[in-house]
Amino acid sequence: MSSNYRPVKFEITLPSEHPHLLEGLDEWLRLGLISDSQVKQFCWEYLTCRVILPTEVTPPRPTKTTFPQSRKPAEKAKATATPSLFGAIWQSFRAEFSVRWLLFLGMFTVVISSGALAASQWERFTAILQYGVLFAYTCLFFGLSFWTSKQANLRLTSGALHIVTMLLVPINFWAMDSFGLWQNPVNLIFVAIASIILTRIAVLLSKQSIFAGSVPVSKLSFINILGLSFLHLGWKINGFPLIAVYLALIGTTVITVFQNLRAADKQREEVDKNKFSWGRNLPATVIVYSSVLLLIRAIFGVGVNVTQLGLAIGICGWLIAWLAQREKRKTRTREQGKISPSLPKLFSQTIGGFVLFIGWCVTVWSIPLQAITVSALGLHFFYSRLNLYSLKKDLTTFFAIGLQSMFLGWRLLPYEFQSSIITFAVQLTNSQENYWTLLSVGLFPYVIFMVEFTNHLRKTQQKFKVVEASSLSPEKSNEQDNFKSSEQSNYKSSEQSNLKSSKLDALTTKNKLDLVSFGEILTLILGITLTTISLENPTLRSINLLLSTITLAIVTYQKFKQIFSSPSTSSPQSYPFLTYLTHITAILTLFSWIHLFFPTISQQVWAVICLVVMVVEWLFSVGDGVWRRSTWHIGLSLASVSYLLLLIDFKFTGNNIFINQPSLMNPSPWGLTWLVTPVTLTIIGSRNREAGKNKQIISVSAIILAQLLTLPLSTVSLISLAVGVVTMFINTRYLRN
């Protein structure tokens, strides 16, 4: 055995909170492998923390003499006093102003200066020397990144240099094209060599993992990054900058969406283990950065009209938001029931939505086709937010975007075609003076769309309830019965977690139910607004009411079908407003179409029409149920309207209504027709004795009121009194029994 002294050096990476760290150091010290000074130095460097001393001086307490015990794991020192507000701000600033912020500041400075270098034109040097400076320190950063990646204590610096080098690659291609190096054959050779070297640098960097748990660069992402860099070449060709921007953004969107949707389950699980971070997801960061860089160069560097780039801006914003929403959806799958948006994802979605809004603003007045495409992207963005958060403000924005898309779609039609449609509609509906009332029918398809969309939200809510119920099924609890008794202590914590998750799921279900109700309210407000607009024109009013009746009837049928198909849902009594609204709209539609075809019929004829409808309503009111109650109440309303029409002489002049005189001053035999009211009440009261008492009491009152309509005429009054006596006799008999 050799007597030469050869020291052995090795490194061990352990967390400072390891429970047996101090015990291991004590064991090494006992065996003589390390000295006491080395232990003190190690503890001073790695096992110390900041202690905030109290501001007030307290008297010292008597200390106890303690005997030496075995060492325990180190614990974090707790603060004994709360610092002041200024002190807390200063400590927070000092904590944040660390090496990470310094590295970030250096990255930002290098990238911005490189962009200024690519966009400016130097006069002191030739083009090849100008670009040579940028290419040289790009290679320098790559070399430093490669060297620091081999050093164990420079991981953070290596990651910063790695990111800077990746961000400098597209700026290099921008500089090549802006300096016009491809125009000279000698410079062209240098461009080819530099392109090969930059491609090789990108390949090497894409194979490195700069952070723990960072997302690897796939082949499609690498091709996308290189393509965005090479699209900076050839911008001197007329029209190519616009083509390059759209080719880059459309291609990037297709590749990104395809790659995320086709990702393997194993890869998604590995990504799900990490929190969302643009620093960890380096491929997405570089792709978004390169896309934005192309947009910035096209707008500010080349001077492309920004109105032509509205769709490109919208696509860029949608892609940023879609990536953030997809990460949020993965996080939500992992953390069941978490409905509040976290800050990084919410911030990324806000940026994406703002960029989408900018894309819409720059195109809405000049290029409606691009504006309606950006609106479609906005609808998808807010629809995804509805599935994630179920917020009413998102549904309101979705509603507004869809409504303005109707106007954008109208602007897509040629002007001659628009004129022909308006001329034909005005002549058909006779709305020359108020042609704007055509909106009451023209916008009604959007009401139908919102009805279907709200129904879709309701079905989504039902699926959510089914998934929630299946997640709480007893099958999962049966699987846990196979665990050993040593793991039974974890059952209580698991049960508490499931209880908390179930409460959050219940809150999510409630939010979705509120969202469906809110969507129905928005649709109803739009429908009432369109009906109000149509009141000026009889034809449009009749068409609008007919469409409203059909839509309400379909919605009511679907809800009642859902109720009867699933007994666990609410009963038909839960929808009285919808039932009454559908019923009243149908009656108004009937009256509107009668007025459209017979606009000159007298007031007495209208009273008879009301009485006929009243009789039909009351004949269907016998029995129980919300529909039968609605027929009873609507019949009472029609009886009251018909009585007023027979009692008072109304005069209609334009939009005004005047009361001329009561019919008592000018009696008419039409009042005899109102006797059908007490007769009908007596008939339906006799068919249902349990619920007929109130109807017979109302019938007695109606007999008395009917005499006021026929009292001045002797012959008609005798007939009215005779009918009243017979009806009163029948009612008295049933009331006595």
pLDDT in tens, 442-461: 999 999 999 999 999 888 87
Q: How far apart are CA 542 and CA 535, in angstroms?
A: 9
| pLDDT score recorded for residue 649 | 67
Mean pLDDT of the chain: 78
Radius of gyration of the chain from its Cα atoms, rounded to whole angstroms: 40
pLDDT greater at residue 323 or residue 471: 323
Q: Residue 188 in contact with residue 181, Cβ under 8 Å? A: yes
* pLDDT above 70 for 466: no
Query: Could you tell me the two tokens for 679?
Result: 């007769």
Coil, helix or strand for 136?
helix
* pLDDT above 70 for 87: no
> Using 50, 70 and 90 to split pLDDT, how confident is the model at 80?
very low
Mean pLDDT, range 15-22, rounded to an integer: 71
Mean pLDDT, range 38-55, rounded to an integer: 68
| pLDDT score recorded for residue 576 | 83
* pLDDT above 80 for 317: yes
Query: Which string of b and e fits 535-569 if b means at least 16 CB within 10 Å?
Result: eebbbbbbbbbbbbbebbeebbeebbeebeeeeee
Mean pLDDT, range 531-554, rounded to an integer: 95
| pLDDT score recorded for residue 485 | 43
Q: How far apart are CA 281 and CA 358, in angstroms?
A: 26
Q: Residue 624 in contact with residue 571, Cβ under 8 Å? A: no
| pLDDT score recorded for residue 419 | 93
| pLDDT score recorded for residue 316 | 94
| pLDDT score recorded for residue 108 | 67
Query: Which string of b and e fits 164-174 if b means at least 16 CB within 10 Å?
Result: bbbbbbbbbbb
pLDDT greater at residue 182 or residue 578: 578
| pLDDT score recorded for residue 477 | 44
pTM here is 0.75
CA distances from 445 to 57, 549, 554 (A): 77, 14, 15
Answer positive or negative: Cα dihedral of 421, 424, 426, 428: negative
* pLDDT above 80 for 264: no
Chain-centre distance for alpha carbon 571 = 30
Query: Which residue is listed with tokens 């910035």?
Result: 296
Mean pLDDT, range 122-142, rounded to an integer: 82
- Comparing 119-128, 197-206, 274-283, 618-627, which segment has the lowest mean pLDDT? 274-283
| Of 190, 200, 191, residue with least CA distance to 139 | 200
| pLDDT score recorded for residue 305 | 93
Q: 463, exposed or middle or buried, with CB in 10 Å at 0-12, 13-18, 19+?
A: exposed
Q: To 10 degrees, what angle do helices 626-647 and 692-710 make?
A: 10
Percent of the chain predicted with pLDDT > 90: 36
Mean pLDDT, range 521-546, rounded to an integer: 95
Q: What is the pLDDT of residues 181-231, one digit of tens each?
A: 877 888 889 999 999 999 999 998 888 766 555 667 888 889 999 999 999
Query: Can you name the residues that pair with 648 across neighbouring β-strands?
Result: 662
| pLDDT score recorded for residue 272 | 45
> Using 50, 70 and 90 to split pLDDT, how confident is the model at 76?
very low
Mean pLDDT, range 407-429, rounded to an integer: 93
Q: What is the pLDDT of residues 472-518, one digit of tens each?
A: 444 444 444 444 444 444 444 455 545 545 554 555 556 666 888 89
Mean pLDDT, range 153-165, rounded to an integer: 82
> Using 50, 70 and 90 to split pLDDT, how confident is the model at 567?
low
| pLDDT score recorded for residue 690 | 55
| pLDDT score recorded for residue 228 | 95
> Using 50, 70 and 90 to split pLDDT, how confident is the model at 697?
confident
Q: How far apart are CA 383 and CA 332, in angstroms?
A: 17
pLDDT greater at residue 662 or residue 272: 662
* pLDDT above 90 for 47: no
> Using 50, 70 and 90 to split pLDDT, how confident is the model at 42?
confident
DSSP line for 500-537: HHHHHHHHHHHHHHHHHHHHHHHHHHHHHHHHHHHTT-
Q: How far apart are CA 164 and CA 285, in angstroms?
A: 12
Q: How far apart are CA 293 and CA 501, in angstroms?
A: 43
| pLDDT score recorded for residue 41 | 77
> Using 50, 70 and 90 to split pLDDT, how confident is the model at 73?
very low
| pLDDT score recorded for residue 652 | 52
Mean pLDDT, range 390-394, rounded to an integer: 92
| pLDDT score recorded for residue 612 | 95
> Using 50, 70 and 90 to split pLDDT, how confident is the model at 81?
very low
